[in-house]
A = this chain, B = another copy of it.
Amino acid sequence: MSPLLKTVLRFGLIILALLILFQLTNASLFIPSISADFVIGIAAIILIALGVYLGKAVRKEKVVEVKPSSVIDEERILSLGISPRELEVLQLISEGLSNQEIGEKLFVSESTIKTHISNLFVKLDVKRRTQAVIRANEWRIIP
């Protein structure tokens, strides 16, 4: 079932329940055998439960749409002067590839990769590729 249809259905049911509840309350007030306080108490409990359910449903959908967690910090990439190609290399380092493997994947020589990496290390202020991966995750410059 689509989320929209689900929501519409849910709210329809809730409104229906409310109407029935109101009619019941009105009717019961004129039947002496049942205490008015009792009916009102039951109605209050049902309404509070309805509120809890409603809040839960709304929040559940909110969590789903407020999900974007791994957002890349483009500004920092620019401020560090990291080029697109360097970023690509950094990404592959973080996936555990060797310099030779990165070169093959990008169709360039290993020398080129080494150059990119050396430049990256300066920009990231690190000495090793393991540290580069840690930094890249710290400043959110890789996914």
Contact = CB atoms under 8 A, between A and B. Distances in A.
Interface of A: 18, 21-22, 25-26, 29, 36-37, 40-41, 43-44, 47-56, 59, 93-98, 126-131, 133-134
Nearest to A126: B96
A29 B26 contact: no
A102 to B, nearest CB: 11
Given A48-B51, A51-B54, A96-B133, 12 more contacts: A22-B37, A22-B44, A26-B36, A29-B36, A43-B44, A48-B54, A49-B51, A51-B52, A52-B55, A129-B130, A130-B130, A133-B133
Contact of A48 (B25, B47, B127, B130): B47
A26 B37 contact: yes
A7 to B, nearest CB: 16
A74 B91 CA distance: 30
B52 A40 contact: no
A51 B40 contact: no
A130 B93 contact: yes
